[in-house]
Amino acid sequence: MARLLLIEDDVAIRSLLVGALRERGHAVATATTGMRGLQSALDDRPDLVVLDLGLPDLDGGELLRMLRAVSAVPLIVATARDDEAEIVRLLDAGADDYLVKPFTAAQLDARVRAVLRRGAAEQADPTIVVGELRIDPRSREVRLAGVPVDLTPREFDLLHHLAIRAGQVVTKRELLSQVWQIPYGGADKTIDVHLSWLRRKLGESAQQPRYLHTVRGVGVRLSAPEDAA
């Protein structure tokens, strides 16, 4: 279920959509003019806005730009014109999706759920950012200041594990058990060797660390250069 705001001046379309969307479990607020819609989008903070472009007081495209200047709320435009150039303009202006009238409540509901799913997936982006280091566990790509860093699978796992715990000292025992899946100690040398390879690829050394800091007798800490002190 989502909290929707429907900005639509046509009473017949509005009551049809409101009824159908409520039947599908959404909470629906409505506005019949652009200015009231804008106000409601700001005051009531809906999960998603459905915006009819043909409003009595404001051009829908104009309203879209006004709304985007102050809010990132997911938004679907409903347009009466199946005009490709117009649709591209609306998407460029910040609409997340569009529907051409006439459309059914089922179509609108499907678009609403798709846009909200996309938003949730973006929020769940697992990329870890530490200073200028970006670690994407889905693609297993690492970039340092935008430049790809070529790591072996083990080096990636080591860096990723340290990045999850960025700012904290991770013990060698934990690294052995989590990254190497070796439950008992005794392979410190393996970690040291991999750390030195990783350092070289990140353009630093144990003597002049930037991201990888050895804490003698305890373990390793990954932190951004500006946070290292």
Residue 52 as a binder of Ca ion (CB under 5 A): the answer is: yes
Dist CA 31 CA 43 (whole Å): 12
Dist CA 28 CA 18 (whole Å): 6
| DSSP structure string for 74-115 | -EEEEES---HHHHHHHHHTT-SEEEESS--HHHHHHHHHHH
- Residues 6+ positions from 204 with CB-CB distance below 8 Å: 210, 211, 212
**Site size for Ca ion (CB under 5 A):** 4
CB of 67 to Ca ion, least distance (A): 17
Dist CA 26 CA 192 (whole Å): 55
CB of 92 to Ca ion, least distance (A): 22
CB of 60 to Ca ion, least distance (A): 8
Count of CB atoms situated within 10 Å of the CB of 102 = 9
Interacting span for Ca ion (CB under 5 A) from 6-14, 23-31, 71-79, 192-200: 6-14
Site string for Ca ion, 93-112 (x = CB under 5 A): --------------------
User: Considering only residues 22, 54, 66, 100, which one is a binding residue for Ca ion as defined by CB under 5 A?
Assistant: 54
CB of 227 to Ca ion, least distance (A): 53
For Ca ion, the binding residues (CB under 5 A) are 9-10, 52, 54
